[in-house]
Homo-oligomer: A and B are copies of this chain.
Amino acid sequence: MEKFLLVLEVITTCCAVTQSMTGQERSEEKSECVSLSPMMEAVPAPPESERVCVFGTGDLGRSLGLRLLQAGYGVVFGSRRPHSSSSLLPHGAQVLGHAAAAQSAHLIFIAVQREHYDFLVPLANQLKGKVLVDLSNNLKKNQYPEANAEYLQSLVPGAEVVKGFNTLSAWSLQNGPSDANRQVYICGESVEAKQAVIAVAIKLGFSALDRGFLSVARELEDFPLQLFPQWRLPLRIAIGLSAAFFFYLLIRDIIYAYVTQSKDISFRIMVSLANKVCPIVSLIMLSLCYLPGVLASFLQLYRGTKYRRFPDWLDRWMLCRKQLGLLALGFAFLHVLYTLIIPIRFDYKHASLSLFQIRENRTTQFDMTTAWRGDSYLSLGILGFGLYVLLGITSLPSVSNALSWREFSFIQSKLGHLTLLLCTAHTYLYGWNRFLSSSTYKWYTPPGYMLCLVLPSVVLLLKLLLITPCVDRTITRIRQGWERGADQRNPKDSQPLIP
C-alpha cells in the first residue's frame, strides 16, 4: 500500500493536483487521470503481484509459504509432483512444476535438502538472474567440504545466491518472530539480492542482518547446530570444581572416619557430602563471576585508558559471567534444599551434629554467643540466597531488556557484590571458632569451607580498593573517555553511556 499511495502521489502530482488532496480525493481523480498517461493501471496492480517462489514442500517450505501469504505475498510452490504435494500446502498458494514456478517470481526460497540440489541444474536457464535464498541446514558441522550456499552457487552460477533464514525453525516461522529470534542473518555476493531478501524479512516481521559475502555462509549454517557455546566453559569449571571438592571431602570425612575410627559413614555421601560440595562450588563460582570485572578495572587503571582491547582470556571470561552466576545460583538452590531436609532425615541427631558441632550445647547450659552466631549464620544465608534469586531473575532476557543500562549495572554490580559479601560472611560464621581449633585440620588438611573462602575474600578486598574515593574517581574519568597523558584539546570520540 505504501507503494500504492506513492504511485497515487505520482499520478496526482502529474495531474498537478495540490498536495493537500486527501487519499480519497486522489482515488476519485484516478478516473480523470486516464488520459494523461497509462499510469492509472498502476493502481489496480495489486501489491500481492510481489510474487515469491518456494522450492520444497516440506515442513519448512510450507511454514514459510504460509507466513509469506499472510504477509501479503503471492506464493508459488515449486514441487516435483505438484498434484500429490498440494494437499498439505497452505490455502491460497499456487503449486507448479519447478520450471514453471521458477519463471513466476524473482525471489526463490530453496527449502530443500542439500543432497537434492542437483535437481536445480537443469533449471539453470529459468534461474538465471533470480535470487535464490538458501534455507538449508546440515546435521553436523563440516558435514560437507563447502557451505551449502556456496555449493548451490556453484550449481547455478547464473543465479544470485543469498544464504538466510536458516536459523529459524518451521515452528518460529509459523508462530511469527518473537523477541530473541527476530534476527535473520543473511549473506551473499550481490547487494541488490540481499536488499531484496531484507525487504521480505522486514515484511515478515523479522529484522535482517547482512553478515557479508557468501563466504560467511558456513558460519550461518553452523548457528543452528550450536549447543550452548557460551555455557561450555562455565559448565566445565563447575564440573571440575565439584569433582575436586567431592573427592577432597570424601577423603577428609568418610575415609578419614573409616581409617581412624574404622566407622563406616559412607551413606553420608548422599546428603551431607553433597550439601558441603554445593555451597563450596556455588561460592567459588560466584566470586569467579565478579573477579574478571575487578581485574578489568585494575587493567584500565594501570593502562590509564579504556581504548585498548582487553587480553582475549579476559574478554572470554567477561563474556561468560552471566553463565557463571546462574550456575552458582543453581548450586546455591541445591544447597538450600539439602539444608532444609536435614531435620526430616532419619539420622536427625547425626545431621544436626554434622551441621553445627555446637549442637551438644543445647543439652548443656545456654550460650548467648552461640545463639547469636547460629542465628546470624542462618539469617545471612537466607538474605544472601534472596539476593541470589533476585540476580537470577533480573538476568532473564525479558527482565534485563526492560531495565535501562544503569538499572541493570546497578543490580548486577552493586547487588551482586552485596550478595557475594553476605554469602562470604555466612561461610565465615559457619567456620566461626573452628578456624583455630587444631582438631579441624584432619590429616593437616583444611576443611572445604576454608578453601572456598580464599577467592571471594580476595575479590571483596580488591573491590573494596576500587570503591575508595580516589581510585573510584580515576576509574570513572577513564570510563568517560579520559586518557592519561592525552592532550585534552581534541574531541574525545566516546560515549558516557558505555562502561
The reply to whether A70 and B211 contact each other, CB–CB distance below 8 Å, is: yes
Q: Which of B39, B178, B205, B207 contacts A401, CB < 8 Å?
A: B178
What is the distance, in angstroms, from A433's C-beta to the closest C-beta of chain B?
Answer: 15
What's the nearest-Cβ distance from chain B to residue A322, in Å?
11
Q: Provided the pairs A202-B202, A270-B372, A493-B79 are in contact, do residues A397 and B7 lie with their beta carbons within 8 angstroms? A: no
Q: Any chain B CB within 8 A of the CB of A139?
A: yes
Q: List A residues 162-180 near B (Cβ within 8 Å).
A: 166-167, 169-172, 176-180
Contact: A496 with B267, CB < 8 Å?
Answer: no
Within 8 A of B (CB), among A123-149: 129-130, 135-139
Docked-complex contact A385 and B337, CB < 8 angstroms: yes
Mask, A434-448, CB within 8 Å of B = 1, is 000000000000000
Which of B39, B61, B382 makes the CB contact (< 8 A) with A11?
A: B39
CB <8 Å contact, B34 and A179: no
User: Which of B40, B334, B368, B375 is the one whose CB lies under 8 Å from A33?
Assistant: B40
The reply to whether B352 and A344 form a contact with Cβ atoms under 8 Å apart is yes
**Alpha-carbon separation in the docked complex, A107 to B24 (Å):** 9
Which among A14, A16, A167, A203 has the greatest number of chain B C-beta atoms within 10 A? A14
| A310-318, A404-412, A467-475 - interface stretch | A404-412
Interface pair A496/B170, CB less than 8 Å apart: no
A-B residue pairs in contact (CB < 8 Å), sample of 6: A11-B39, A11-B40, A14-B42, A23-B50, A23-B105, A60-B498
- What 6 pairs across the A-B complex have the smallest Cβ distances? A205-B207, A23-B106, A116-B491, A398-B398, A58-B494, A270-B375
Q: Is A268's CB within 8 Å of the partner chain B? A: yes
A494 to B490, alpha carbons, bound, how many Å?
A: 58
Closest residue of B by beta carbon distance from A270? B375
Q: Is the CB of B22 within 8 A of A178?
A: no
Most chain B Cβ neighbours within 10 Å, of A4, A22, A92, A138: A4
Residues of B contacting A79 with CB < 8 Å? 493
**A288 interface residue, CB < 8 Å from B?**
no
Please tell me which one of the listed residues B69, B119, B336, B481 contacts residue A210 in the complex, with CB atoms under 8 A apart: B69
Range class of the A interface residue count? 35 or more
Q: Is A252 an interface residue (CB 8 A)?
A: no
The interface residues of chain A, by DSSP majority, are classed as helix
Question: Is A232 engaged at the interface, CB distance under 8 Å to the other chain?
Answer: no
1/0 per residue A167-198: CB within 8 Å of B? 10111100011111111000000011011111
Are A4 and B192 in touch, CB under 8 angstroms?
A: yes
Please tell me if the beta carbons of B267 and A371 are within 8 angstroms of each other in the complex: yes
Docked Cα-Cα span, A195 to B3, in Å, equals 10
Residues of chain B within 8 A (CB-CB) of A70 are 209-211
Q: Considering the chains assembled together, what is the distance between the CA atoms of A103 and B28 in angstroms?
A: 12
CB distance from A272 to the nearest CB of B (A): 8
B residues in contact with A401, CB < 8 Å: 178-181, 397-398
The answer to whether A389 has its CB under 8 Å from any CB of chain B is yes
Interface string of A1-23 (1 = CB under 8 A from B): 11111111111011110011011
A457 adjacent to chain B (CB < 8 Å): no
> A9-B42, A23-B107, A71-B198 given. 4 additional CB < 8 A pairs?
A7-B13, A13-B39, A59-B498, A347-B371
Chain B residues contacting A403 (CB-CB under 8 Å) are 180
Complex Cα distance, B69 from A382, in Å, reads 49
A480 is an interface residue with CB less than 8 A from chain B: yes
Interface assignment of A31: CB less than 8 Å from any CB of chain B: yes
> In this complex, what residue of B is CB-closest to A126?
B24
The residues of B that contact A259 with a CB separation of less than 8 Å are none
Given contacts A1-B198, A396-B398, A402-B180, contact A344 B339 (CB under 8 A): yes
> Of residues 53 to 86 in A, which have CB atoms within 8 Å of B's CB atoms?
55-61, 69-72, 79-81, 85
Q: Does A274 contact B (CB under 8 A)?
A: yes
Least Cβ distance of A404 to chain B in Å?
5
CB-CB under 8 A from A111, the residues of chain B are 493, 495
